[in-house]
Amino acid sequence: MPVVEFNRDCPGYLEAALREDLIRATPFLGIEERINGLPVMPLTLRMVQWLGMVRSPFLSKLPANVLITKPDIAADIMMFFWIVSPLFKIGNERAKKRFYKTHGQILKCNAQKTVQEIIEYIEEAFLDSSENIKEGDQKNYYSTAASIVGFFHRGYGLEIDVWENSIWRNLIRKLTGRPNAIDIPLKIAFQLIRAHQKHEHPEMTFHNKLSQPKIDAWLGELNKAA
């Protein structure tokens, strides 16, 4: 019986696996992330909570061609970009207005392309999460936040500090090199949690959200042909 090599035999697997590797490596290298050319910060729990508060439609699993039909999608896009922007400041209306004025031209671009890249930005952040969300469902970010904060508190002694705009608290965090638990990029957080789980339970296996479906589809076709 011939030896099966997914890289060689499974259509689309190699490309999907390479993309998973790239997504996982990016946050550790400090490479700037962009959505349709606009610089954005790596998605964190704090950003997710803000997006939830403004009821951002991008927290649902709806496809781009559905989201684009939303009457006020332009306002949703700009609010999303403001929250994930390096310039985001809580309660600073002047900074917000300046951001909207400076980057409002993003709305003149292909709206569906912009929405699709926003969806991919969120999906990539949750690549290694254990969530399994059906189309149209709202991600349960609150339980996710609690589990991540709990993990970093138990394992690394990191605290959760909601006062992100406190000059003295931010200064202390920079001097001590101890980040706020809810400001750790999700791409890093989920990988560390997986690594810990694998260390504690070597027999544990994980579902790779991009490459595993390629394997499942390929094996399904082989079974039909058998």
Instruction: State what percent of residues in the chain have pLDDT above 70.
Output: 77
In this structure, is residue 187 part of a structural domain?
Answer: no
In this structure, is residue 122 part of a structural domain?
Answer: yes
pLDDT at position 194, please? Answer: 83
In this structure, is residue 50 part of a structural domain?
Answer: yes
Give 137's pLDDT tier (boundaries 50, 70, 90): very low
pLDDT at position 195, please? Answer: 83
* CB 210 within 8 Å of CB 19: yes
pLDDT at position 140, please? Answer: 45
Query: Alpha-carbon distance 201 to 80, whole Å?
Result: 38
The mean pLDDT value for 101-105 works out to 86
Query: Alpha-carbon distance 126 to 87, whole Å?
Result: 23
In this structure, is residue 41 part of a structural domain?
Answer: yes
Query: Alpha-carbon distance 159 to 182, whole Å?
Result: 9
The mean pLDDT value for 20-46 works out to 89
In this structure, is residue 217 part of a structural domain?
Answer: no
Tally of structural domains, the chain = 1
pLDDT at position 34, please? Answer: 93
In this structure, is residue 80 part of a structural domain?
Answer: yes
Give residue 36's region: left, alpha or beta (phi > 0; psi -120 to 50).
left
Asked if the model's pLDDT at residue 132 lies above 80, the reply is: no
| Mean pLDDT of the residues in the chain | 80
Query: Alpha-carbon distance 209 to 206, whole Å?
Result: 9
Asked if the model's pLDDT at residue 201 lies above 90, the reply is: no
* CB 99 within 8 Å of CB 39: no
In this structure, is residue 189 part of a structural domain?
Answer: no
pLDDT at position 141, please? Answer: 44
The boundaries of the domain holding residue 45 are: 32-139
String of DSSP letters for 125-146: HTTT----PPTTPBP-HHHHHH
Asked if the model's pLDDT at residue 163 lies above 90, the reply is: no
The mean pLDDT value for 102-111 works out to 82
In this structure, is residue 57 part of a structural domain?
Answer: yes
